[in-house]
A and B are shown apart, each in its own frame.
Chain A
Amino acid sequence: MGDNLEAREAVGDYKAGWHDPENSTIRFDFGLSEEVVREISNLKSEPSWMTEMRVKAFNHFIERPMPKWGNTHLLEEIDFDKICYYLRSSESTERDWEDVPDDIRNTFERLGIPEAEQKWLSGVTAQYESEAVYHSIREDLEEQGVIFLDMDSGLRDFPEIVKKWFCSVVPLTDNKFAALNTAVWSGGSFIYVPKGVHVEMPVQAYFRINAKNMGQFERTLIIADEGSSIHYVEGCTAPSYSTDSLHSAVVELVALPGSHIRYSTIQNWSSNVYNLVTKRGIAHENAKIEWVDGNIGSKLTMKYPAVILKGEGSHAEVISVAYSGDGQHQDAGAKIHHLASNTTSKILSKSISKSGGRGSYRGMVTVSPKADNCKLNVVCDALILDEDSRSDTYPTMEVSNPTARCEHEASVSKVSDDQLFYLMSRGHSEEESLAMIVNGFFEPFTRELPMEYAVELNQLMALEMEGSIG
C-alpha cells in the first residue's frame, strides 16, 4: 500500500497515493458505447426520461469535437477507450462506517473523514469509484426537512425535484465533458434545503478513486430554497498510477431568492488524473453563490466555476487558488454573467507554479445590456517560483451596460532572494521560508475555509515546498 514503489516514484511526497486491492462487485470493460450508457441506467433502475437523457448526452459527446483551447495537447492524449466507466466496490450505501467494507473504511479513516464528521460536519457522503459507500446526515437537519443524499438515491426518492432541475443549470450540450458526465454519471450529491433553514455546520462529500484507469463522473445538484443557507465542502484524492484516470464532474447549484450557497473544494488528485469539471450556479433575487475552489493536484485541470446572476441584487464570489508543480497544468478561473440589475461579483484568483508547472487563469465576466448598476471586481495574482515554470492570464470582460463599475487587477511576482533571506535570518530554513511565502500568498483563500481545511492546505503546501530548493 503505502510503500508501493511505483506510487512513490510517480509523486514523491503525495500523501494520499496508496491504493487498496480492487474488490469490485461490478466492473465494466474499458470503453464507451451506447450499450454502456444504457447498462449504467439499467443497473440503477432509472426512470426512462433519465435513460433517454443519458443517450442523448452520449450522442452529443460523440459528435462534439474536443475543445480547441486550454491544453489541447493533453486533451488529445485522453484515450476514452482505456477508461472504465463504471465500477462498484460495495453493494450498498451504508449509514454506519462499521458496515462499509474494511479496505474502503480504512482508506477513509486514513483520509480523516469519520473523524472530521464527528467533530465539525453536519453530514458526510463518501464516494469510492462510481458509488457512494457511506452516507449520513445529522438527525436534526433531517427533521427540518433538509435532504442530503447521494445523487442516485436522490433520483430514486425525489424524482420530481431531480427532473425539474437536472441539466437546468448545465445543459447536456454545454460542452463535451458535461455531455460525457450526463451520459455516464454515477454518484455525487443531491441536496435540498427548505425555505428559511440554515445549515450551520458544513456538509462534506469526499471522492476517492482507487482503481487504475478509472473514470469518475459524479453529478451534484444543490437547491437552496428561499432564504436558506448551506456550506458544502468537497475533497478528493486518488492513488498514484503511471496510467491516467479521468474525473469529469458536473455540479449544478440553484440559489432561490435570498438564499446563500457556499461550495468549497480542495482538489488534491494524484498527478495522473485528468480533472475536467463543469461547475455552475444560478443565483435568483438577492441570492448569493460563492465558489471557494482550491486546485492542488491532478495532471490537467480545466475548471471555471460559474455563476449566472439571474435575479436582481444577487451576488457571486469565486475565490480560487491553483498550485501547479512538476508535470501539472492548472487551467482554472471563473465565469460570471450579470443578467440582472444591481448584481455584484468578485473574483480572486491566486496561482503558484513551480518545478516546470503551468498555471493559467482563464476568466470571463459579462454584463448584459439590461443589467444596470452592476459592480464587478477581478483580481488575479500569480507567483512563479522558478525559471522553468509558467503562468498565463486570459481575462475577458464583456460589459454591455455603461452603468457597470468594473475593477480589474492582475499581478505576476517571483519570490526574491531578499525575501527568502529575510525569513531565513529569522531562523527558518529555506524550505520553511518558501512555505511561509506560499501560504501567505494563499492566505486570502485559506481564511475562507473552515479552519481544519485551512490547516490541511497549509500542510499540503509545506509538503510541496520540501526538496524544492536546488
Chain B
Amino acid sequence: MGGPLDPLDALAKVCGDVRPGEPEEGVLGVTPRFVAAPGTVAEAAEVMRVAAEQGLAVIPRGGETRLDWGLPPGRCDLLLDTSRLDRVIEHAAGDLVVKAEAGLTMERLAEVLAGRGQRLSLDVPLPGSTVGGTIATGAAGPLRLLYGSPRDLVIGLTIVRADGQIARSGGKVVKNVAGYDLGRLFAGSYGTLGVIVEAAFRLHPVPSAHAYVTTRVPDAANAHEAVQGVLHSPVAPSALECEASGDGITLGVLLEGVPEGVAARATRVADLLGPGADISHEPPAWWGAYPDGTTLIEVTAPPSALAEAPAATEGTAPADGAALLWGAALAGVEGCQVRWSASGKGYVGLTANAAEVAEVLARLRTTLARHRGGAVVRYAPEGVRTADDVWGPVPALTLMRRVKAQFDPEHRLSPGRFVGGI
C-alpha cells in the first residue's frame, strides 16, 4: 500500500477538471495550489470531502468580479471554480420561482427569465457575476430600495459544507418558515461558511414600462429635501439614487409599472423635484455602477445622513459635490465620487494613498455613526488596504466567530478574508 495520495491526485479521482493553480489566478496575491471545477453538486461535495481529508484551505470562485474584495486569504490551497455549475435547474414561471446552479452568470439567468417576461429583481453592478458570487457578496444595486438584496430574494439554498456534506434550506416556494433560513445567513458571508452550489429565487414580472426622472441639485441640503419629498410621496419609486462628484449632485428616480401609471408618476416626481427635472427612458450614465477610483468604500447611510451639514471649520469647497455629502467627510479629497441609494447603501470611490484613505474612513465613520451607519473598504490597492481597518466596528463579532467555528472548525474556508480575521 502506498502512502497518502498527493492532493492533486486525490482531487483528480473525484473531479474531472483539476489542475495546478496559476499565479494570475491568485486571490489578492495568494496563488492557489490547485484549481478544481466540479461539474455537478455531487462532484463539488466530493471535492470538498477530499479537501477536508487533505486539510486544504478552499476559496470558491465564480465570475471573479469580487475576489479582490475584502482581505487576502491567509492561505489558498484550492480554488473551487463554479463555472461548470452553470445550469438553470428549473424556471417555474407560473410560480415566479427559478432554481439555478451557482456558477450561472446573472446575465445568462436574466436572458432565460426574460424569455418568460420575468426577472430577478437584483441589479448586477459588475458584469460576469455569478448567482453564487452575488449571494456570497450580498451584491445589489439601485433596485435594492424596493426589492432588497439577495438575502430578501433567495428562497432556497444548497450548500456544500466544509466537511463535504450537502445541505439545503428553504425550498422552492416563496412563503416558507420551516427551519432556519441559511439563505440569509450565507448572503454576504464571502465564502467563509460553505460553498454555495444552488439557489432558488423569487421572481417578479418585468414591468411593462419604466422611466427615469433626474435632476441636478446645488447642495446636500437640497438633495436631502428632494429625497425626503420623493420618499414620503405615494409615487412608490423602484429606486432613488444620488450621484455626487466634482461636478455637483444629481438625483435619479426610477419608476416602474404600467405605461399610463409610469407616465403619471414620472410627471409627479418631476414636479416634486422642481424645474429642470428631466424624464427619460434611459438611465443616467452613472446609474447602478460603482464609482471610479482605486479604493471603493461601501457606506451604510440612511437618508437622514444627507442632511449632515458640512462643518464650518472644515472649509468645504462648494464646487466639490462629493464633499457636500456627509458633511466634511470627503472634503479636500481629490477626484472623489459618491453614489448613494435611498435604501441606505452608498459607495465612495477615490484614488488616494493610505493615509488619505484612513482619514476619509475615520471621518465617514464618525459622521455616519450619528445615523447608525458605517463604512467598509471593499477594495483598495495593497499598501492602502493593509494600512486600514477594512471592516470597521463589528458589533456581534463574538457570535459570528462562534457560528463560523461551527461551520468551519478548522478555518479552511476563505480563511482571513472576512470580519475579525474570520
Whether chains A and B associate is: no
